[in-house]
Copies of this chain bind each other. A is one copy, B any other.
């Protein structure tokens, strides 16, 4: 799994981990039921503390992206991910607003915006088709 963590970033490490793993799922590089590295091994691999990894795993569990088993460790949620219900779309819109507002201020057209959005989207989906 390719997780590049920026220790200097102002984004907390555990947030980078959460985002990276969710992106891995979106890209199809992490499949439902697949096991994630143990807290200790991932922490060692990334050169960070095991508590930081632990916090990330627990946030993912809380959001329904992984299951934490007694012995087996952490696995990608095998059944169904949480749905894109109204609450999620509202949250998404709320997070989108400041990004789009800034883009509008800087004079980006709707087309330019869609282009950026689509580029990001396709980048993740294309990897899914060819990934493995």
A6 CB to nearest B CB, Å: 11
- Residues in B neighbouring A116, C-beta threshold 8 A: 89, 92-93, 96
A93 CB to nearest B CB, Å: 5
Interface centre among A93, A105, A108, A117 (most CB of B within 10 A): A105
* Chain A contact residues, majority secondary structure: helix
Closest chain B residue to A84, Cβ basis? B106
**Number of A positions contacting B (CB below 8 A):** 49
- Residues in B neighbouring A44, C-beta threshold 8 A: none
Contact indicator B69/A7 (Cβ below 8 Å) = yes
Contact indicator B96/A83 (Cβ below 8 Å) = no
- Residues in B neighbouring A106, C-beta threshold 8 A: 81-84, 88
Please list the 10 inter-chain residue pairs (A to B) with the smallest Cβ-Cβ separation, ordered nearest first.
A84-B106, A26-B101, A26-B104, A19-B98, A23-B101, A84-B108, A22-B101, A96-B120, A81-B105, A93-B120
User: A residues touching B (Cβ–Cβ < 8 Å)?
Assistant: 7-8, 12-13, 19, 22-23, 25-27, 62, 65, 67, 69-70, 81-84, 88-89, 92-93, 95-108, 110, 112-114, 116-121, 124-125
